[in-house]
Structure 1
């Protein structure tokens, strides 16, 4: 493990005398440029899909701008490519040699952090688990940061890390795709089809996720959901050198119940975070107190309020059917379910059959994926026994929810699909849902309790 200053010095030394292409000017790309601008004997080149305006260019005055097509043609001139997670290189047909130059901030963090790094991944649940683990470490009185897919670029504030700082890094498949390093402690929650358009299929998605443990060594640890079929298949494809630590629901018997995190899936998140905390030497008292106090993250089964006797839940984070089914298991009195968003073409037959057997009496389906789901629902046998309404906007969906949900029951917004226009991400559509519910409820003086 590096000393406090040695990590920063080793990172700079690694890039000394090289030419670096920074691919992508999002938060990660910008933060890397800010860090690298103070390095000596480094040449920086920046590229992105859209050319930045003059105001943006002031952020990287030391770097040369190169349009993306030219940068792709000239990849052989660069020693390293520091790629932002949102840049999909598959569409450029890069050679194996070119892909070998790609680095992510997460890999650099793993290689050069002066303190311990714990990696957390999974198709769903990784943000909640990372936040839980982070809070457990803080509750113990130790220094900690949470970075990565959670929202903070991995190398933001890197120069302030010390040997005593625990870093919890949430890792998406985009960040793991080209990784050649794995954390000492890795947490793998689950695996089912997601982001298949980005990766080109489930096998490549699975391979990307497996990289959280693929480069672990003897003495490292992989904490994983032992009964998850996707993870089991991955571990068969990619045998590991680290110590496997499977977990499942019975392993949580000694842990307190959470008054805020509902459902089987959240119980598994709690167990995984507790296992990781124990490996890090975090005291049981800090682990238990965090489980009892942690109120969850926005847009993850977030209780919006009770209006006109109906309880509304924002679960906008759910972008796949498996996550929506887990939400229905947690909120057992759901009468109205709002679904739909971007259509990635995943099969809906099994999802439709499970909806038909659920407690839901009204489905409100948003385009474009909701249109295809409506067709699938019309073909299943036995059919869905309740109302199926195709709506055009989220506002219309909320209006229909107020109209169709019986008093004493719940309405759940759990789309089972990624965001579609006008929403750019799950945060935007979740905030829009909450605003609409509160506005419609308050306008009629229907608020009972938040």
Structure 2
């Protein structure tokens, strides 16, 4: 489906946006750029969020529903609803009985799946997605979008038909998609987001959508941990690559001092484990191996420029971020570690940890 075909499909729809955070605002701006006179409804529980956005805009073709019972009014009017990824579409669907409910991830993949590298996993996907964008950018045009905090719709109007996209996909976003990325990477799977999905089975089922709709011309890279292998209980039609299996016919693994890429049984040492890098931890070395595997899959054989990017990459904020030393004590901010597994990885990476400060809210997972 082309962009013009999609716009024709929704031109006569009565459109609403539920949730007016970063992605909701992005959706509004995209719609308004194509339908300057169309009426659009905004459903946002916090009244000031929507009103502040429109405060300096001379906008008449909107209706804002807000407050504690913001979903109770006007809902029967709307038959095409964009929902923010943090809002469970199943819970709001009874309020919009006549509507098709979509999110940005679903629409974006419907339009551009054949040029998308999708990255999901419980932890590590932001670092991998960012490094994929930075390394691929040394060779060709690429944009980073998605759960990293860059709404996918922000890139649609500038698309030239050739650009690649690295799309970081959360389970919330994947929950609604009906088309999978051309290249899919599942970094790892741990128990998480049960406050949204309810059960670990529902969480895994959402993650499966990253490869569920792939074809024989697509690619899937999956890790060798037990939870990741559990979700492969459906037939994988696409070209399957694995991380961490030494006898694999296709994939990447670490053996001694070598990072080895294998394709159709042919082994190639593509990097050394002592490569220069600023990001700490064995788990980040594994992430680098996954990135190099994706680069090989898309046809990048000379990895020297990519390895130089990896060498200089300082890491992302809140992920083993060295925030300074005071009284001979070095402090690391790893506040993105919101599950036990990632916290333990961080402790093992830093070593000689004397004090851990832990907090947060209950996500429904076992500790």
**TM band (smaller chain):** 0.7 to 0.9
Residues 1:99 and 1:147: Cα distance change in structure 2 (over 3 Å): farther
- Report deviation, 1:8: 3.8
Q: What is the TM-score when the length of structure 2 is the normalising length?
A: 0.84
Q: Which residue of the partner structure matches residue 209 of structure 2?
A: 211
Q: What is the alpha-carbon distance in structure 1 between the residues aligned to residue 210 and residue 288 of structure 2?
A: 20
- From the two aligned structures, give the one with the greater helix fraction: 1
Q: Which residue of the partner structure matches residue 101 of structure 1?
A: 100
Q: What is the TM-score when the length of structure 1 is the normalising length?
A: 0.69
Q: Which residue of the partner structure matches residue 334 of structure 2?
A: 315
Residues 1:34 and 1:206: Cα distance change in structure 2 (over 3 Å): same
- Any idea what SS the aligned residue of 2:222 has? strand
Higher mean C-alpha displacement, 111-120 vs 292-301: 111-120
Alpha-carbon RMSD:
2.6
Matches of residues 36-435 of structure 1 in structure 2 within 5 Å? 36-40=31-35, 43-52=39-48, 54-58=51-55, 61-67=60-66, 69=69, 71=71, 77-92=77-92, 94=94, 101-113=100-112, 116-140=115-139, 142-225=140-223, 227-236=224-233, 238-248=234-244, 249-250=253-254, 252-253=259-260, 254-256=270-272, 257-282=275-300, 283-348=302-367
Q: Which has the larger radius of gyration?
A: 1
Q: What is the alpha-carbon distance in structure 1 between the residues aligned to residue 72 and residue 242 of structure 2?
A: 42
Question: Residues 8 and 159 of structure 1 are in contact (CA less than 8 Å); yes or no, is this contact kept in structure 2?
Answer: no
Residues 1:216 and 1:43: Cα distance change in structure 2 (over 3 Å): farther
Q: What is the alpha-carbon distance in structure 1 between the residues aligned to residue 79 and residue 5 of structure 2?
A: 17
The count of residues paired between Structure 1 and Structure 2 equals: 339
- Report deviation, 1:110: 1.5
Question: Residues 90 and 199 of structure 1 are in contact (CA less than 8 Å); yes or no, is this contact kept in structure 2?
Answer: no
Q: What is the alpha-carbon distance in structure 1 between the residues aligned to residue 297 and residue 94 of structure 2?
A: 39
Give per-residue Cα distances to partners, 1:110-152, cap 9 Å, x unaligned: 1223971111111000000001100111122x21211111111
Consecutive unaligned residues in structure 2, runs of 5 or more: 245-252, 261-269
Q: Which residue of the partner structure matches residue 264 of structure 2?
A: none
Consecutive unaligned residues in structure 1, runs of 5 or more: 349-450
Give per-residue Cα distances to partners, 1:41-90, cap 9 Å, x unaligned: 85522212223464433566433333585646765543322111122345
Q: What is the alpha-carbon distance in structure 2 between the residues aligned to residue 172 and residue 321 of structure 1?
A: 19
- Report deviation, 1:99: 10
Residues 1:54 and 1:346: Cα distance change in structure 2 (over 3 Å): closer
Q: What is the alpha-carbon distance in structure 2 between the residues aligned to residue 214 and residue 100 of structure 1?
A: 25
- Report deviation, 1:98: 5.4
- Report deviation, 1:36: 0.7
- Any idea what SS the aligned residue of 2:356 has? strand
Question: Residues 23 and 83 of structure 1 are in contact (CA less than 8 Å); yes or no, is this contact kept in structure 2?
Answer: yes
Question: Residues 15 and 42 of structure 1 are in contact (CA less than 8 Å); yes or no, is this contact kept in structure 2?
Answer: no
Residues 1:169 and 1:122: Cα distance change in structure 2 (over 3 Å): same
- Any idea what SS the aligned residue of 2:145 has? strand
- Any idea what SS the aligned residue of 1:111 has? helix
- Any idea what SS the aligned residue of 1:213 has? helix
